[in-house]
């Protein structure tokens, strides 16, 4: 997933491009929901879907090479039957797609995948507690090389999920990774004219008095506001929330209460399919909607600009508090 450059307006300049979407499936219920999102995004952005089989296994069982190979063999057979049924159903009509198994894929597609850079990887196998996701080594290498965001289906997905984004929750701890994720959350909200909730959870502090909560929350709300350009309100509905408590639990609750179709998080490191940060993994495995994790860092200039703006917001808040005290 990348940003489109060289266009005349700031909104268009921030538009995402999804030319190549990698969809990993284990043919589960989570995969069905993942496919809906893959098709909706591919149609919206006129992208191409590359389907690859995936295997969800117990971590202990996954250590044995023969067990992995048996699982991959079964998944390849399932993939061909699954794709044949999809073709007959008409669900793939109008969407460019390829399957990375079968006779025609043995030579051409592996070479293509090695040279390909993906804009989005969709983990249709889902995220389940006590299980690990396995992909063909070649596919894992492509995802790492692409450094693309990963869209993951949790184990508690609700059935109405259809890939159309109306409510997006973006959670940030103001780390570089989460600041990078803000660009994707904002662009998707603008693209789909969705409601965007920007959320920060203050961990380790749970004030009981409303006045105390409001006083602590105000600087964070100002910082959240600095992530959004002024003109964004013309294209999407914005809401800023500061919560207190355990981050994963609060993020999940806010997403549930606001009927979120997507949660956007920053994730440290590239191995986000199986080993993201603890809070990210809790959200991914227990969310009722898909979770988009974004890695990679904003360049130093953009980070510096944000923190200058955040410092100015804090100074403004201090001056306001002094005036109120006087």
Written as one string, the DSSP assignment of 285-324 is HH-SS-EEEE-S---HHHHHHHHHHHHHHHHHHHHHHHHH
pLDDT at 198: 95
Residue 5's pLDDT band (cuts 50, 70, 90): very low
What's the chain's average pLDDT?
76
**Of residues 11 and 321, more confidently modeled:** 321
185 three-class SS? helix
For a pLDDT cut of 90, what percent of the chain falls above it? 15
2-154 and 167-325 share one CATH topology? yes
Q: What is the mean pLDDT of residues 27-41?
A: 84
Q: Are 150 and 272 in contact (CB under 8 A)?
A: yes
pLDDT at 271: 43
pTM tops 0.95, yes or no? no
For a pLDDT cut of 70, what percent of the chain falls above it? 70
**Of residues 296 and 222, more confidently modeled:** 222
pLDDT at 76: 75
Q: How many whole angstroms separate alpha carbon 118 and alpha carbon 149? A: 9
pLDDT tens digit string along 229-255? 877 777 788 999 999 988 999 999 999
pLDDT tens digit string along 67-123? 777 777 777 777 788 788 888 888 888 899 887 765 545 555 566 666 778 889 888
Residue 10 has pLDDT above 50, yes or no: no
Residue 13 has pLDDT above 50, yes or no: no
- Measuring CA to CA, which residue among 119, 126, 111, 120 is closest to residue 28? 126
Residue 322's pLDDT band (cuts 50, 70, 90): low
Q: Where are the domains of the chain?
A: 2-154, 167-325
- Measuring CA to CA, which residue among 225, 188, 189, 219 is closest to residue 202? 219
**What's 2-154's CATH class?**
alpha beta
Q: Are 51 and 168 in contact (CB under 8 A)?
A: no
Residue 312's pLDDT band (cuts 50, 70, 90): low
Per CATH, the number for 167-325 is 3.40.50.620
User: Which DSSP string corresponds to 99-163?
Assistant: ES-SGGGSSHHHHHHHH---SEEEEEEEE-TT-EEE--HHHHHHHHHHT--EEEEETT--TT--S
Q: Which residues pair with 55 in a beta bridge?
A: 134
Residue 258's pLDDT band (cuts 50, 70, 90): very high
Least confident of 105-119, 269-283, 299-313: 299-313
């Amino acid at each position: 997933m990348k940003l489109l450059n060289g266009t005349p307006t700031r909104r268009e300049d921030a538009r995402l491009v999804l030319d190549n979407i990698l969809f990993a499936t284990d043919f589960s219920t989570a995969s069905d929901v993942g496919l809906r999102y893959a098709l909706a995004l591919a149609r919206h952005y006129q992208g191409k879907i590359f389907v690859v089989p995936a295997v969800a296994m117990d971590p202990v069982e996954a250590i044995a090479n023969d067990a992995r190979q048996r699982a991959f063999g079964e998944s390849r057979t399932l993939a061909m039957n699954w794709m044949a049924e999809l073709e007959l159903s008409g669900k793939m009509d109008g969407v460019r797609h390829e399957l990375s198994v079968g006779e025609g894929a043995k030579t051409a597609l592996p070479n293509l995948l090695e040279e390909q850079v993906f804009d989005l990887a969709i983990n249709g196998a889902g995220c389940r507690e006590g299980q690990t996701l396995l992909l063909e080594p070649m596919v894992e290498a492509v995802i790492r090389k692409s450094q693309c965001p990963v869209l993951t289906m949790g184990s508690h997905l609700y059935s109405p999920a259809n890939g159309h984004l109306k409510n997006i929750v973006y959670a940030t701890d103001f780390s570089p990774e989460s600041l990078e994720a803000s660009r994707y959350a904002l662009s998707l909200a603008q693209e789909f004219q969705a409601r965007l909730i920007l959320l920060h959870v203050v961990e380790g502090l749970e004030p009981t008095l409303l006045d105390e909560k409001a006083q602590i929350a105000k600087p964070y709300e100002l910082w959240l506001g600095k992530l959004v350009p002024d003109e964004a309100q013309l294209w999407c509905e914005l809401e800023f929330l500061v919560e207190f408590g355990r981050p994963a639990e609060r993020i999940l609750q806010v997403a549930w209460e606001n009927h979120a179709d997507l949660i956007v998080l920053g994730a440290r490191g590239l191995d986000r399919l199986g080993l993201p940060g603890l809070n990210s993994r809790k959200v991914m495995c227990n969310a009722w909607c898909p979770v988009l994790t974004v890695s990679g860092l904003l360049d130093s200039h953009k980070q510096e600009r944000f923190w200058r703006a955040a410092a100015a917001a804090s100074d403004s808040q201090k001056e306001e508090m002094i005036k109120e005290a006087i």
